[in-house]
Amino acid sequence: MAAPYSSPLAAGLAEDLLERFLRYVRVDTQSARDRERSPSTPGQLELSRMLVGELESIGLADAELDEHGYVYATLPATVAADAPVIGLIAHVDTSPDAPGGRVQPIVHRGYDGGTVRLPRAATVLDPADMPVLGSKAGHDVVTSSGDTLLGADDKAGVAEIMAAVAHLAAHPELPRPTLRIGFTPDEEVGEGATLFDVERFGAACAYTLDGSQPGELQDETFSGVQVTITIDGVDVHTGWATGKLVNAARLAARVLAALPADTLTPETTSDREGFVHPFEVRASAGRAVVRMNVRDFDDELLERHVALVRRTAEAVVGAEPRAKLGFDVQPQYPNMRRHLEQFPEVVARAERALRAEGIEPVRVPIRGGTDGSLLSARGLPTPNLFTGGHEYHSVREWASLQDMASAAAVIVHLAEAWAAP
Ligand SMILES: [Zn+2]
């Protein structure tokens, strides 16, 4: 059965795209939390240097790696200069939530639609648990060997941009505005956009390629904050503790137990509902630190969730006058919608590009953030497009070559959609 490409253009881009993708995923670019420098890990620089070299050999002479580990490059326009400059962005790092070193990708040519058993760690991809995988019979499916993530998040996006840009550079007869390419580090640890040089990038708008299913066009993300609760107890040798010890670890456990468990958690909510997600507890008798992600699409509701956490912590810790409570709220990213609404053309032209590839746009809000959340707030409107990758941040991560090729083809159409006013 012939592999179902969405167009001859996608079919023509596929092999270059796959070659790049397989090369990029082999570089260990896992990012690290609580970073002390940018990028957080040296592997990211290795891939970024590789990308600069490849951009140069495609003909993007100004390709550069800046002091924070961001790659920037320009593909000049083939149409009159009044077309706006358009950005294409993907992140080079992979998630710290699953093993990410020594990725050995496997290409399952002409996937039969059944269960995929990977050679390591007894990892199984079962279409019964992953209906989207089951729908890709006939595709060339790429997986890891089972003991690492694949890194399609977001090397699929990186490879798609590279393949599309190589194609456009080799075809100056195709209409395109000036394209700016940006590859970012440390997206997975929430720092992808923080040191992004919006001025130097100089684009009117941009697109991240960091979604999943074909058609996804995301112009709405969660707003996110991180709450850190610090509880100081009174630590006394247990032999002399009578009437003196105040156990911070027990107080932290009580705060967590007092938070709603049947609602307002990631595991009990969906669609447009927000949540409170404690993801790290470090506790001793003397001191406990609890970190939580708080999310909602609606900023007012987000504030209410934070207020609930605060009231709960104050009630529990306040009942023990010898304990001390610290409460810190750090903004992480804002919902991009209110920033994108002012520039309807950004989404409209992406819809045009998707339809030019025969793909119907699917507008779903992202239950998370992207580089585009912060970039949009910083004045660079940046919605998100699909990449063809799935089951991110796990050893079951997989990607369809046919869908990745569709994404690369959509980039080529996007250039055309912005070439005319
Ligand atoms: Zn990503």
**pLDDT tens track for 24-50:** 999 999 999 889 999 999 999 999 999
Within 13 Å and on the Cβ side, how many CA atoms surround 74?
Answer: 12
Asked about 93 being catalytic, the answer comes back as: yes
- What is the reported pLDDT for 2? 59
Q: Could you report the per-residue pLDDT of 127-180, keeping only the tens digit for each?
A: 999 999 999 999 999 999 999 999 999 999 999 999 999 999 999 999 999 999
Q: How far is the CA of 60 from the centre of ligand 1 (A)?
A: 25
Q: How far is the CA of 153 from the centre of ligand 1 (A)?
A: 5
- How far is Cα 71 from Cα 64, in angstroms, rounded to an integer? 6
Active-site residue, 300 included: no
Annotated active-site residue in 93, 186, 188, 220: 93
Q: What is the CA angle 54-55-61, rounded to 5? A: 125
Mean pLDDT computed over every residue of the chain: 96
For ligand 1, the distance from its centroid to the CA atom of residue 419, given in whole angstroms, is 28
User: Contacts for 41-49 with beta carbons within 8 Å, 24 or more apart?
Assistant: 41/93, 44/69, 44/92, 44/93, 44/185, 44/186, 45/69, 47/92, 48/92, 48/183, 48/185
Residue 261 has pLDDT above 60, yes or no: yes
Q: Is the pLDDT of residue 1 over 60?
A: no
95 Cα: distance to centroid of ligand 1 (angstroms): 8
- The confidence score (pLDDT) of residue 3 equals 66
CA 285 to ligand 1 center in whole angstroms: 38
Catalytic residue among 140, 147, 187, 188: 187
What average pLDDT does this structure show over 363-373?
Answer: 90
Distance 154 CA to ligand 1 centre (A): 5
pLDDT on residue 34: 85
> Cα 155 to the chain's mean position, in Å?
11
**Global pTM value:** 0.90
How many CB atoms neighbour CB 22 within 10 A? 17
Residue 269 has pLDDT above 60, yes or no: yes
Q: Which residues surround ligand 1, an ion (CB under 5 A)?
A: 153-154, 210
DSSP bridge partners of 73:
181
* Whether residue 74 has pLDDT greater than 70: yes
